[in-house]
A and B are shown apart, each in its own frame.
Chain A
Amino acid sequence: MNDAIVITQRDTVFMKDVDAQSSQKVSACYQCGNCTAGCPASFVYDMQANQIMRGVQLGLKEAVLNCRSLWMCLSCSTCSLRCPNSIDVAAVMETLRHMARRQNRITVPNVEKFWHSFLDTVRVCGRTYEIGVMALYILRSLRVFTDLDLAPEVLKKNKLPFMPHVVQNGGAAAIGRIMRRYKERAEREGVRP
């Protein structure tokens, strides 16, 4: 963010879009840095929370929507709580992540692969199921050794059932329908489901 800003890359309606979708007023940010100071994920961010806020104000849409931080945010809301201007920074982060996803900008693919693996088990069973999530995630990410060190402990404690709990009385099918309608609507609206 210390680099000179290329004026032609500024998107003048970006902040308005972000404000509308997050119900926040990003222009109120005066760069005190409180959000960044309290952010537990700051050590893995490529753009800090306050820099993202400034980026939105300046219309640096490309830089903001492509940053890794949107995917690494833990949604802990510490930033929102500590903002002296009562900006819900976590809601802005979530809105930006939704915007990036809808435009197929997936800067940290493994995080999204994990989410999809989780949601796939919900779509089929109506509930999630840890071994299923792990298996799908390993297939998607090709990270075969993810958490292999935990396996002996988990098995010894008999903590993870191998069989999914499927919601009865048509419940699983009802969830399948919710997920299908969501996907069809996203496709109709031309956004990434």
Chain B
Amino acid sequence: MKTTVAYYPGCSAHGFSVDYEKSTQAVCGALGIRLNDIPDWNCCGSTPAHAVDTELSAALCVRNLDNAVKADANELLTPCPSCLSNLRHAAKRMEDPRFRARVDELLDNPAPAVFPEVISVMQGIARRFDANALAERVKKPLKPLRLATYYGCLMSRPAEIMDFGDPENPTLMESMLTACGAEVVDFPLKTVCCGASFGIPERAVTARLSGRILALAADMRADALVVACPLCQMNLDLRQKQAEHAADAIFAMPVLYFTQAMGLALGVPPGRLGIEKLRVNANGLIDKIEAAASGSTAPVEGSRP
């Protein structure tokens, strides 16, 4: 069967994660993966909708799935783990006829019988390019970088819904970054929660949980944390000062989206990856990559023989 892809950017793509959106588009463009937005997509409801009511959350998701079906898509890619979780939960719950009937009551027209498969952009890339195929396309290896991967709690859990490998030890991002030439540390907190959407109503919770992740990455001498979730990125980067304040420490830890790291390796200019949008400056990382790529003999801190 021919695969027709639809793309669900998620609301934060037009807000605080414009850099994720830009770099996702740039990387997929460089790899020849076409991302056609679902026509007139709407918010999946994020945490607030499912926290309030499961059927409301499903109705918001199903309208998107329906629009994807109408656009003949059988594979739906989304960069955001929270959207991914909501869309996959909705599709699963709709298998229960009683649940489906309650959701149909909320919709303009009944939901379609079959939905497209929803996967993350990361999986979408991995399905088309294995490690060797990616490595062949690397123009500027991330060799001088020591990276810690952080998935957050939604990407891999619950395992039976998300189907993303080991729910506490996913390794897809590691294999992709390794293919890009980076040294990747074995980061034990990779799926431990960063405080999620509590940054606004209960920021002390988020500051403490994010602080723990940043502190460990610093202890392990990572040059940067690499993430896949807009909310995690905001907690770890934009709110890094709040976490530093709570921990009484200075982390100065750049927090990149995996698409930004991959984009650099594929030779996409940093300006097209939104690197300048990061709060914690990541220019030092770019300098290291450039220096290594141009064969500079200047000693590069953190590089391994």
* One of B131-139, B194-202, B253-261 contacting the partner: B194-202
Task: Kindly state the separation between the CA atoms of A76 and B46 in the bound complex, as whole angstroms.
Answer: 14
Whether, in the assembled complex, B130 has its beta carbon less than 8 Å from a beta carbon of chain A, the answer is: no
Chain A residues within 8 Å of B11, by CB: 127-129, 165
Task: Kindly state the separation between the CA atoms of A161 and B193 in the bound complex, as whole angstroms.
Answer: 28
Task: Kindly state the separation between the CA atoms of A114 and B124 in the bound complex, as whole angstroms.
Answer: 33
Whether, in the assembled complex, A63 has its beta carbon less than 8 Å from a beta carbon of chain B, the answer is: no
Asked whether A110 lies within 8 Å of B158 as measured between CB atoms, the reply is no
**Set B46, B54, B204: member contacting A118, Cβ < 8 A:** B46
Task: Kindly state the separation between the CA atoms of A90 and B199 in the bound complex, as whole angstroms.
Answer: 20
Query: Chain B nearest CB: distance from A25 CB in Å?
Result: 16
Asked whether A77 lies within 8 Å of B238 as measured between CB atoms, the reply is no
Task: Kindly state the separation between the CA atoms of A153 and B197 in the bound complex, as whole angstroms.
Answer: 19
Q: Of all chain B residues, which has the CB nearest A150?
A: B238
Asked whether B201 lies within 8 Å of A113 as measured between CB atoms, the reply is yes
Asked whether B201 lies within 8 Å of A130 as measured between CB atoms, the reply is no
Asked whether A72 lies within 8 Å of B202 as measured between CB atoms, the reply is yes
- Asked if A72 meets B205 with Cβ closer than 8 Å, knowing A149-B241, A178-B106, the reply is yes
Whether, in the assembled complex, B203 has its beta carbon less than 8 Å from a beta carbon of chain A, the answer is: yes
Task: Give the residues from 100 to 148 in chain A that come closer than 8 angstroms, CB to CB, to chain B.
Answer: 101, 108, 110-111, 113-116, 118-119, 122, 126-130, 133-134, 137, 141, 146-147
Number of A residues, CB within 8 Å of B: 64
**Set B53, B107, B157, B205: member contacting A98, Cβ < 8 A:** B53
Whether, in the assembled complex, B16 has its beta carbon less than 8 Å from a beta carbon of chain A, the answer is: yes
Asked whether A127 lies within 8 Å of B205 as measured between CB atoms, the reply is no
Whether, in the assembled complex, A80 has its beta carbon less than 8 Å from a beta carbon of chain B, the answer is: yes
- Asked if A78 meets B49 with Cβ closer than 8 Å, knowing A88-B158, A130-B15, A178-B59, the reply is no
Whether, in the assembled complex, A84 has its beta carbon less than 8 Å from a beta carbon of chain B, the answer is: no
Asked whether A185 lies within 8 Å of B105 as measured between CB atoms, the reply is yes
- Asked if A122 meets B60 with Cβ closer than 8 Å, knowing A146-B200, A149-B242, the reply is yes
Chain A residues within 8 Å of B195, by CB: 40, 74
Chain B residues within 8 Å of A98, by CB: 52-54
Asked whether B41 lies within 8 Å of A167 as measured between CB atoms, the reply is yes
Query: Chain A nearest CB: distance from B207 CB in Å?
Result: 11
Asked whether B193 lies within 8 Å of A78 as measured between CB atoms, the reply is yes
- Asked if A168 meets B40 with Cβ closer than 8 Å, knowing A128-B11, A129-B11, the reply is yes
Q: Of all chain A residues, which has the CB nearest B159?
A: A81
Whether, in the assembled complex, B18 has its beta carbon less than 8 Å from a beta carbon of chain A, the answer is: yes
Task: Kindly state the separation between the CA atoms of A134 and B197 in the bound complex, as whole angstroms.
Answer: 13
Asked whether A74 lies within 8 Å of B193 as measured between CB atoms, the reply is yes
Chain A residues within 8 Å of B51, by CB: 75, 94, 97, 115
Whether, in the assembled complex, B208 has its beta carbon less than 8 Å from a beta carbon of chain A, the answer is: yes
Task: Kindly state the separation between the CA atoms of A149 and B242 in the bound complex, as whole angstroms.
Answer: 9
> Can you show 6 pairs from A to B with CB atoms below 8 A apart?
A75-B153, A98-B53, A128-B43, A137-B200, A165-B11, A169-B40
Given A129-B11, A182-B56: 5 more A-B contacts, CB < 8 Å: A80-B158, A118-B46, A153-B238, A171-B40, A178-B107
